[in-house]
Structure 1
Amino acid sequence: GGGKGAGVVTGGQVVKLKQGKKTFEILAKSGAAAQFKEGKISVEDAIEVEGVFYDAHKMTTVSSSDLKSAFGTSDILECSAKILEKGEFSLSTAEKRQKMQERLDEIIRYITLNFRDPATKRNYPRDSIEAAIKTAKLKVDAEKPAKQQIDPILDKLREVLSIERIETDYVIKYHSKYGSVLSILKRYAQVKSVKKDTEEYFVCDVGISPSEFDRLMKELQKPTDGDFEIDAVGSGNEPKAAKGPSAVLKLGKGSKTKEKSSGKAGKTKKHEKKK
Structure 2
Amino acid sequence: DGKRKTLDGVFAVEQIFIDARKSLKASNQDLRKAFGTEDVYKIAEVILREGDIQLTAEYRKKLKEEKTRWIVNYIHRNFVDPKTGLPHPVSRIEKALAEAKVKIDPLKEPEAQIKDVVESLRKVLPLKSGMIIMDIEVPAAVYGKLRAFLGGQGDILREEWSKDGSHAILRIRAPLGSQVLILERVGQAGGHVKVIREEG
What secondary structure is seen at the aligned counterpart in 2 of 1:123? coil
The one-letter amino acid paired with 1:59 is A
- Whether the aligned pair in 1 keeps the contact of 2:70 and 2:110 (CA below 8 Å) is yes
Counterpart Cα distance in 1 of 2:25 and 2:43: 17
Tell me which protein shows more helix as a share of its residues.
Answer: 2
* Partner residue in 1 for 2:36: 66
Quote the residue 1:88 is aligned against.
52
Q: Which residue is equivalent to 1:78? A: 41
**How many residues are paired up?**
135
How far the C-alpha of 1:130 sits from its partner, in A, is: 0.4
1:47-58 equivalences under 5 Å are: 47-50=12-15, 55=18, 57=24
Q: Report the secondary structure of 2:106's partner residue.
A: coil
Q: Give the whole-Å Cα distance in 2 for the aligned partners of 1:63 and 1:117.
A: 60
1:58 Cα deviation (Å)?
6.0
| Secondary structure of the corresponding residue to residue 63 of structure 1 | helix
Report the Cα distance in structure 2 between the residues aligned to 1:59 and 1:77, rounded to whole angstroms. 11
Which sections of structure 2, spanning at least 5 residues, go unmatched?
A: 1-5, 134-150, 161-169, 174-200
- Which consecutive residues of structure 1, in runs of 5 or more, have no partner in the other structure? 1-38, 68-73, 170-212, 218-229, 238-255, 260-275
| Match in the other structure for 2:91 | 127
Within the candidate set 67, 70, 77, 1:103 is matched to: 67
CA contact (8 A) 2:157 2:171 kept: yes
1:136-183 residue CA offsets vs partner (Å, 9 max, x unmatched):
1222221221122111211221111111113247xxxxxxxxxxxxxx
How far apart are residue 95 of structure 1 and its match? 2.0
The 3-state SS of whatever aligns with 1:258 is strand
* Counterpart AA for 1:66: G
Q: Are the structure 2 counterparts of residues 81 and 49 from structure 1 closer, same or farther at C-alpha, using a change threshold of 3 Å?
A: closer
Verify the 8 A CA contact 2:64 2:105 in the aligned structure 1.
Answer: yes
User: Aligned ranges for residues 59-208 of structure 1 at < 5 Å?
Assistant: 59-61=26-28, 62-63=31-32, 66-67=36-37, 76-83=39-46, 85-86=48-49, 87-168=51-132
State the Cα distance separating 1:47 from its structure 2 match.
4.5
> Could you tell me how far 1:131 is from its partner in structure 2?
0.9
Shift of 1:127: 0.5
CA deviation after TM superposition for structure 1 residue 126, in Å: 0.7
1:258 paired to 2:172: yes
Indicate the SS of the match to 1:159.
Answer: coil
CA RMSD of superposed structures (Å): 3.9
Q: In the alignment, which residue of structure 2 is the partner of 1:46?
A: 11
Structure 1 length normalisation: TM-score?
A: 0.40
Paired amino acid for 1:105: R
Measure how far apart 1:112 and its partner are.
0.7
Alpha-carbon offset, residue 80 of structure 1: 4.5
Report Cα offsets for 1:21-52 as digits up to 9, x if no partner: xxxxxxxxxxxxxxxxxx7x825x824353x5
Q: 1:139 to 1:81 in 2, by over 3 A?
A: closer
Q: Please state whether the residue corresponding to 2:36 is helix, strand or coil.
A: helix
Fraction of identical pairs, as percent: 23
1:184-205 Cα shifts (integer Å, max 9, x gaps): xxxxxxxxxxxxxxxxxxxxxx
Taking the aligned partners of 1:94 and 1:47, their CA distance within structure 2 comes to 15
What's the CA shift for 1:81?
A: 4.8
> Normalised by the size of structure 2, how large is the TM-score?
0.52
Q: Report the secondary structure of 1:134's partner residue.
A: helix
